[in-house]
Chain A
Amino acid sequence: MNPILQLQGVTRHFGGLTALDNVSFDLRPNEIVGLIGPNGAGKTTLVNVVTGAYRPNAGQITFDGKRIDSLKPYSISRLGIARTFQVVQPFPKMTVLENVAAGALFAAGAKSLESAKEHALEHLEFVGLAELADSPASALTLADRRRLELAKSLAMNPKLLLLDEVNAGLNPVEINQSLHLIRGLAEKGISILIIEHLMKVVMSACYRVIVLHHGQMISEGSPSKVASDPRVIEAYLGSRFAAQQKSNAL
């Protein structure tokens, strides 16, 4: 099957810092892939490059057979890539419904504000926020705001969804609900890239995991394979710990 998203040698510098160094990978349709790595590994930069917030200094990004690495964010989102933000970014003075309707109106191309609102209500029901539709977005709790982000991204009718730490700051119950939602999205046929620090989420939701460290891809494979990869352990816990583990294993 053709990949939905393809990165080839993507590199991005900020001054002297190389935030992404020659990153290449494919994402196939309907796949849930985890993107992990220590703080500052370049995960959010990767999302920003794919969604057009930054342009890559080198390399190619192809989405659904189209080069997208020189497009602006608004046209990329219209093609069908949606993202959520690590720091949630609602339109605070609008109602929850209007927030979601904005996604349906501008990215998914709803014909009128009214039809956008109808679509928005469906998505709010899906994430379980329908009862709060008329309250202002600024009044929501963190967990609800993350769900709002999800509903907003869904309203954009995406083929690919980039979830940037949607579970950070949630309690275990809320995380389970969120996991349930994410699986529901995949069943709708949306490909998902999850950036996540919580290993529980990565282990249970992803078929495949990509590990970034200092902007380089250091490992790729099934969750269990990645978790036992010495380079990954080294990146997270330091080389001494990795050596200790190795000698323990012998």
Chain B
Amino acid sequence: MRRLLLGLALIFMLVLPLWGNNYIIRLTTMMILYSVLSLSWNFIGGFTGYPSFATASFFGLGAYAGAISQLHGVPMYLAWIIGGLVAAVFAAALGLAILHLKGHYFAIASLVVAEVLREIVNSWTDLTGGGMGLNLPILRLDVDVQARLFYYSMFGLAIMTIIAASYVSNRRLGFGLRCIKQNEDAANMIGINTTIYKTSAFVLSAVFVGYAGAFYASWVNYIEPGDVFDILLSVKPIVMVLLGSAGTVVGPVVGAVIFLFLEEMVWRNFLTFHVGVLGLLVVCLILYLPDGLLAVDFRRFIHLKGSR
């Protein structure tokens, strides 16, 4: 049943560009990008239990690494890979520096990194264009073709992320990360090298985001610091994962899909207050659905109705 659903979803996603208009395609590309962000955050936040707010740092870093490479003549696809690698190397160094912090301390440390990077990018005008932002080379392709090219590229990245997530989930690494989440001291005592495990999770949570950042730069053709180092880029994936179900493979994707629909609805209907409504949504989510939608036993409702 589950396999069938997943297969149908996959086929649906593959054929969607054949009939969808550009608005639909753009929206679903965004949805897939969100899925990549939430799947990535799930490595460090969901499996390992470390409340990371570093997603914006990785995204912005990837975006600028990709954009600068492309402006220096690197082909687009290679620039995306460079974006991913730069974010991964940065995450490894950052992880070794701040992953010994726990709980709120870790959250705050990871949060300020994006602000620091934004300031650096703002001031390093020679390389990054500063507050003026960067314009990327425009693809000489038909608009419809471009939309589909980006759609399928993003889709490929999402598939890679899902494969990585399910691989980690079923192997030694995922098992060790779950141990760390539940009791880090005990995990250390039973022979888990917690430093290496946590850093691996952090790098995994960065590499696909960096790639997505570089992709985003090529997709929208123009980036500026406030856009790609936006704090909301760190917050949204967390909401999506919590909305779906933390520490699972499907949860983050489900969360991302629902979140995008909610966001689009809220944004359309509360133009001046959409961030506020989003905030209320987050509060309700934490209060009423602490374990996410996938943890809700829907069969219970059916059963209750039947017994009455």
Contact = CB atoms under 8 A, between A and B. Distances in A.
Interface of A: 51, 53, 72-75, 77-78, 82-83, 85, 89-94, 98, 102-103, 105-108, 113, 152, 156
18 contacts: A53-B185, A72-B188, A73-B189, A77-B191, A83-B189, A89-B185, A89-B186, A91-B182, A91-B187, A98-B175, A102-B176, A102-B179, A102-B187, A105-B172, A105-B176, A106-B190, A106-B191, A113-B172
B171 A102 contact: no
B182 A106 contact: no
A161 to B, nearest CB: 12
Given A53-B185, A89-B183, A94-B182, A156 B190 contact: yes
Given A91-B182, A105-B176, A106-B179, 12 more contacts: A72-B193, A74-B192, A74-B193, A74-B194, A75-B193, A91-B179, A93-B182, A102-B176, A102-B192, A103-B190, A106-B191, A108-B191
A248 to B, nearest CB: 46
Given A93-B182, A94-B178, A156 B191 contact: yes
Given A74-B194, A156-B191, A85 B186 contact: yes
Contacts of A93: 178, 182
Contacts of A105: 172, 175-176
Contacts of A156: 190-191
Given A91-B182, A94-B182, A73 B188 contact: yes
Contacts of B176: 102, 105-106
Interface of B: 170-172, 175-176, 178-179, 182-183, 185-194
B98 to A, nearest CB: 19
Contacts of B178: 91, 93-94
Given A77-B189, A107-B190, A113 B183 contact: no
Most buried by B among A73, A75, A108: A73
Contacts of B172: 105-106, 113
Contacts of A98: 175
B185 A107 contact: no
Contacts of A83: 189
Contacts of A108: 191
A138 B175 CA distance: 18
A75 B189 CA distance: 9
B191 A107 contact: yes
Nearest to B192: A106
A113 B193 contact: no
A105 B179 CA distance: 12
A74 B182 contact: no
Most buried by A among B185, B187, B188, B194: B188
List of 3 A-B pairs having minimum Cβ-Cβ separation, nearest first: A107-B191, A106-B191, A91-B182
Given A53-B185, A89-B183, A91-B183, A113 B190 contact: no
Contacts of B182: 91-94
Contacts of B193: 72, 74-75
B131 to A, nearest CB: 45
A228 to B, nearest CB: 37
Contacts of B189: 51, 53, 73-74, 77, 82-83, 89
A51 B196 CA distance: 19
Contacts of B185: 53, 89
A152 B192 CA distance: 14
B305 to A, nearest CB: 29
Contacts of A90: 183, 186
B178 to A, nearest CB: 7
A53 B188 CA distance: 9
A77 B194 CA distance: 13
A173 B170 CA distance: 40
Contacts of A106: 172, 176, 179, 190-192
B278 to A, nearest CB: 30
Nearest to A73: B188
Contacts of B179: 91, 94, 102, 106
A205 to B, nearest CB: 23
Nearest to A111: B172
B168 to A, nearest CB: 13
A3 B182 CA distance: 36
Contact of A91 (B170, B186, B191): B186
A107 B179 CA distance: 13
Contacts of A75: 193
A191 B185 CA distance: 23
Nearest to B185: A89
Given A91-B179, A113-B171, A77 B186 contact: no
Nearest to B174: A113
A51 B170 CA distance: 29
Nearest to A109: B191
B186 A74 contact: no
Nearest to A137: B182
A117 to B, nearest CB: 11
A90 B183 CA distance: 8
